[in-house]
Structure 1
Amino acid sequence: MQALSRPLQYLDGATVASLCARIDPLRAVTEAFLAVRANRSGVATEAALRWTAPDGAAARSLVLPAWHDGAYGCKIINASLGNVDRGLPRAAGLILLYDAETAEPVCIMEGAQISALRTAAVSVAALRAVRPLPTVERVALLGCGVQARTHLGLLAAHGAVKSVIVHDLSPARCDAFAEELRASLPGIDVEITADPEAAVRSAPVTLATTTTTTSYVPLAWLPEGSVFLNVSLDDAHEDVLLGAEHLFVDDWHLVSEDDTRLLGRLARAGRATAPGTEAPGARQVDADLATLLSGAYTRPITATDRTVINPFGMGVHDVALASHVYALAREEDAGLQLSR
């Protein structure tokens, strides 16, 4: 039998984390957005498997295929909402990369860290496009999990955030998260609140990273000139999505095809429509993030305008980051060679 063109390489979580620390994630996701805009990168149809775990918790498995500048692969990311109570991470997954010529799998790597990093990088890159990061001195955090931690760390690394106000439905989780922040980011003042309204009203930037499926943040809570990063997608009431002065999404097709998230349901009901597409009675999304990051969004964002960034999540960013990690791993012969 003819030998395969490349060995199959496995990168565990520690190796992935070490290599990710040497990558500029904001640059990587921005380049991926611009490549999508130039038709050099893109995503294929996603697959979702959802079920109820034996303990009653919602569980799901998502498969996100994508390509980026000659790199091909997919992310498999699974989650169970019951994992937090089990003392386990909510999400776990793998990223697979393929040989562009033979289509053989060439790398399997732990995926949860890259998934969290690309999510935070998309948020921070989008925020940077509408606000100079050093001017973002206060942030409200809704939800105290991995995503909140990763976002805040990335913001701090780019000169943002002097104070945060944190809210979580679990007081114990909120307290533990605050103590962790005080130890890991001692230059940031940390405040805890049991009231999400107080958090949102007090900050020019709110970061929603919860697991809620029930909207609870109305437009009236958002201060003038604020930015709402709707990472977990269902925290914002429909009046936030329909009434904010600027609304950005990463990929309208992905958003509109998903009826489990609020903006997708609004699209299916004819109440929200794609950028550049007008429909009677529908809110037109102002632009996708590729347009925003390319500098092609020309409508001014004034000092009093409220901006909502609603990133559904594109596998192209996982593949882009993973391809950088794999390139470094090959240079250094990192990871484990698996027999086929």
Structure 2
Amino acid sequence: MQNSSTLLRYLDGATVASLCARIDPLEVVTEAFLGVRAGRSGVAAEAALRWTAPDGTEARSLILPARHEGAYGCKIINACLGNVNRDLPRAAGLILLYDRETAAPVCVMEGAHISALRTAAVSVAALRAVRPLSTVDRVAVLGCGRQARTHLDLLAEHGAVKSVIAHDLSPSRATAFAEELRAALPEIEVETVDGPEAAVRSAPVVLATTTTTTSYVPLAWLPEGSVFLNVSLDDAAEDVLLGAEHLFVDDWHLVSEDDTRLLGRLARSGRATAPGTTVPGARQVDADLATLLSGAYNRPITATDRTVINPFGMGVHDVALATRVHAAASAADTGVLLPR
């Protein structure tokens, strides 16, 4: 019989989803942000491998190492844009957790569910810091995939959203998304529109969860007092990032080091700069999300101010959520134990 210290616990997607249902993800991501602010948590440099799949679509693999309150691990998340045409999920991945003393892997779990959940939790936690969720009655959705649905489910769980206006480049996908949403959340009114402008102009909160690499939403579309959740990072045009009254990022270093995204390119060209850093002619990011969630952001956000939340994605949130899932799985003796 093998010693338990030599075994690796594997958690499949269904098990991960079941265990996540017992956890408040907003509490976890907020705790992780505060841990980063206090130096108890953090991320290491990310690695990215990109290629072109045989069908000509873009594919990539990202590795995000992180530590959180004495826990260590990484997320490996892969995606291929061609998967949509194969009736496959766009993204799939794994999360690994390591023993603090020996550094040996102790758990490997399906990662796409946690990745989607923590992404939504960061958005909702940030939105909650900007305005009471009970006042968020209408949301515009750009991109009708898994991320959009996870965000809306989480918003609904926290008492937000009475109506949704959705747009997707694929009308059939938008229609299917609306039908599924009506069935799952019948208390929410759902409509679809052919273009993004009508959606953005009609809602105080915009959720961008597309796969675009070309910006298309100008500042003129954003209503006064609106919040733009720039989850897919490239939907908001340059004038949105430079001209909105408030601009928040999760981690400036990660944002500024990535020249594949617009805000990173603006940083590289000297047109955007870090919070607390004044450069003539550059837009200063107002604060990171750790500052916002800690209550240390001192500038008032008025009823007419437009706010952009630009979450690049930090592996610390995946590790924090995965650590909670692993603890619950160990306590319940759930999962498959594999020899290392």
TM-score band w.r.t. shorter chain = over 0.9
Q: Work out whether 1:276 is the aligned partner of 2:296.
A: no
Cα deviation per residue 1:64-114 (whole Å; 9 max; x = unaligned)? 000000110000000000000000000000000000000000000000000
Tell me how far 1:339 sits from its aligned partner.
1.3
Q: C-alpha distance in 2, partners of 1:5/1:253?
A: 36
Please give the alpha-carbon distance, in whole angstroms, between the structure 2 residues aligned to 1:325 and 1:83.
28
Decide whether the 8 Å contact of 2:6 with 2:339 is kept in 1. no
- Give the match for residue 211 of structure 2: 211
Report the equivalent of 1:322.
Answer: 322
Residue 91 (structure 1) aligned with residue 91 (structure 2): yes
Q: How does 1:297-308 map to 2 (within 5 A)?
A: 297-308=297-308
Indicate whether 1:153 and 2:143 are aligned: no
Name the amino acid aligned to 1:71. A
In structure 2, distance between residues paired with 1:109 and 1:4:
17
Q: Deviations over 1:165-211 (max 9, x none)?
A: 00000000000000000000000000110110000000000000000
For 1:186 and 1:5, the matched residues in 2 are separated by 48
Equivalent residue number for residue 197 of structure 1: 197
Distance in 2 of aligned mates of 1:6 and 1:128: 43
5+ residue gaps, structure 2, are none
Structure 1 letter corresponding to 2:144? C
Q: CA deviation at 1:299?
A: 0.2
In structure 2, the partner of 1:13 is 13
Structure 1 residue matching 2:228: 3-state secondary structure: strand
Indicate whether 1:225 and 2:250 are aligned: no
1:32 paired with 2:44, answer no
Matches within 5 A, 1:1-340: 5-340=5-340
CA distance in 2, matches of 1:137, 1:333: 41
Q: Distance in 1 between matches of 2:34 and 2:339?
A: 37
Secondary structure at the residue paired with 1:302? coil
- Aligned counterparts of 1:4 and 1:317: Cα–Cα separation in 2: 27
What do residues 104-138 of structure 1 show as CA deviations (whole Å, max 9, x unaligned)? Answer: 00000000000000000000000000010000000
Percent identity (aligned): 83
Q: 1:3: how far off?
A: 5.5
Name the CA distance, whole Å, in 2 between partners of 1:40 and 1:226: 33
Offset at 1:257?
Answer: 0.0
Give the Å deviation of 1:5. 2.7
Structure 1 unaligned blocks of 5 or more:
none
RMSD: 0.8
State the distance in 2 between where 1:281 and 1:11 align. Answer: 50
Letter of the 1:275 counterpart: P
Paired residue type of 2:134: P
SS, match of residue 89 in structure 2: coil
The 4+ residue runs of structure 1 with deviation greater than 6 A are none
Q: Distance in 2 between matches of 1:242 and 1:98?
A: 40
Per-residue deviation, 1:6: 4.7
**Alignment-mate amino acid for residue 326 of structure 1:** H
Aligned residues: 339
Name the aligned partner's letter for residue 50 of structure 2. Answer: R
